[in-house]
Amino acid sequence: MQSTTGVTPSNSKTAAANNESNNFTHEKRKADHIRINLEEDVSFNQLTTGLENYFFMHEALPELNLAEVDTTTKLLGKTLQRPLLISSMTGGTAEAGTINRILAAAAQETGMAMGLGSQRAAIEDDTLANTYRVREVAPDILLFANLGAVQFNYGYGLAQCQRAVDMIEADALILHFNVLQEAVQPEGDGDFTNLLAKIEEICAKLPVPVIAKEVGWGFSKATAKKLADAGVSAIDVAGAGGTSWSQVEMYRAPTARHARVAGAFIDWGIPTAVSIQYCREAAPTLPIIASGGIGNGIDVAKCIALGANLVGLAGQFLKAADNGGVSGVIELAEILTDELRISMFCSGVGNIEALGKTPLHTKF
């Protein structure tokens, strides 16, 4: 595919001006996303994750020592001290770079995985690459690069995927699917046609695993099956019930019309609990990452019992980084792990593998 950054002598000045404008747009959008997530209510209205409908059978005699309950797990060849992922959030601005380094340092200290925000801004302006680079403070973590799958219809291909991976020395590449967000953005990219074959080619040729990730509305069983057949190595369900990115776009809408359209989708999507099960049924052998509205360590335990291998949180970690720096993020990770460990203990479960085989019960 032709690179979107390619220019000819006759149009180089125009292209340079367009690139400068695009980079400003990218940076402003990234800054808006951070600000809105920290300052505004961007949660769903009535739609929930569905996790509240499940409970563990309480075991008053677990025959376990709480101190020996083991939260370690393995994913994509790396051992994690806890089944937690700092979900992809940001990059592309100086503030985002600071946040990413805080999050990464905490991930290194606590043995969590981490995803970076979309690296499109740095692909199109290499001066922004340092806002994504975190290996200096996190040499050992399981780290995910990130690009939008829709960009394969706007000039991106294997070369850009490899650049994203190399840029941050990533262990895997996330391809995110944000169809609703693109649809309600005035500047959104809306051509999602014929992507599956291009995704299959990337999965076959990229030398690191590819992870398919939704961004807050969940994957259906049919889509998860298509992605698994195309060769993705893991699926992040990113279901509905947490941050609503249509609400984020509502707050940054340039007109009342755009705001009304974006706001109409406040309760759109597949609840996280449902999407986990869809993806597990569609891809029984693939690692599943659960994210979207995870509130505490009990939710983490429920996600694993429903079929997830790793559980991601974004907004809580962002706020912890903003309010408390590295120590704040570490504290949140420890709290989540305490809640997870106690959930396992009171369910008579001694390790993550056994938790994945523990039945959940419904309240109705």
Both structure tokens of 46:
């009535």
What is the distance, to the nearest Å, from the Cα of residue 10 to the centroid of all Cα atoms in its chain?
41
pLDDT grade for 363, boundaries at 50, 70 and 90: confident
* Cα–Cα distance measured from residue 292 to residue 87, given in angstroms and rounded to the nearest whole number: 10
* Cα–Cα distance measured from residue 267 to residue 159, given in angstroms and rounded to the nearest whole number: 37
**Residues of the chain above pLDDT 90, percent:** 82
CA distances from 58 to 71, 223, 335 (A): 19, 35, 21
Mean of per-residue pLDDT scores for the chain? 91
Stronger pLDDT, 141 or 41, i.e. the higher one: 141
What is the tens place of the pLDDT at every residue in 199-215? Answer: 999 999 999 999 999 99
Domain ranges of the chain: 15-362
Among 122, 112, 121, 102, CA closest to 144: 112
**Fold classified for 15-362:** TIM Barrel (3.20.20)
* Cα–Cα distance measured from residue 227 to residue 222, given in angstroms and rounded to the nearest whole number: 9
Residues 81-87: what's their mean pLDDT?
Answer: 98
pLDDT grade for 27, boundaries at 50, 70 and 90: low
* Predicted TM-score of the model (pTM): 0.89
Q: What are phi and psi of 210, to 5 degrees?
A: -110, 130
* Cα–Cα distance measured from residue 172 to residue 143, given in angstroms and rounded to the nearest whole number: 7
Q: What is the pLDDT of residue 26?
A: 61
What is the tens place of the pLDDT at every residue in 302-343? Answer: 999 999 999 999 999 999 999 999 999 999 999 999 999 999
Residues 6 and 72: beta-carbon distance below 8 Å: no
Among 220, 107, 118, CA closest to 161: 118
Total count of residues recorded for the chain: 364
What is the tens place of the pLDDT at every residue in 155-177? Answer: 999 999 999 999 999 999 999 99
What is the tens place of the pLDDT at every residue in 216-254? Answer: 999 999 999 999 999 999 999 999 998 888 888 888 889
pLDDT grade for 12, boundaries at 50, 70 and 90: very low
Asked if residue 2 has pLDDT above 60, the reply is no
Residues 6+ apart with CB under 8 A from 60: none
Residues 128-136: what's their mean pLDDT?
Answer: 98
pLDDT grade for 33, boundaries at 50, 70 and 90: low
Name which of 68-72, 186-190, 230-234, 278-282 the model is least confident about: 186-190
Name which of 19-23, 47-51, 79-83, 342-346 the model is least confident about: 19-23
Stronger pLDDT, 47 or 283, i.e. the higher one: 283
* Cα–Cα distance measured from residue 31 to residue 27, given in angstroms and rounded to the nearest whole number: 6
Residues 178 and 245: beta-carbon distance below 8 Å: yes
How many Cα atoms within 13 Å fall on the side-chain side of residue 354?
12
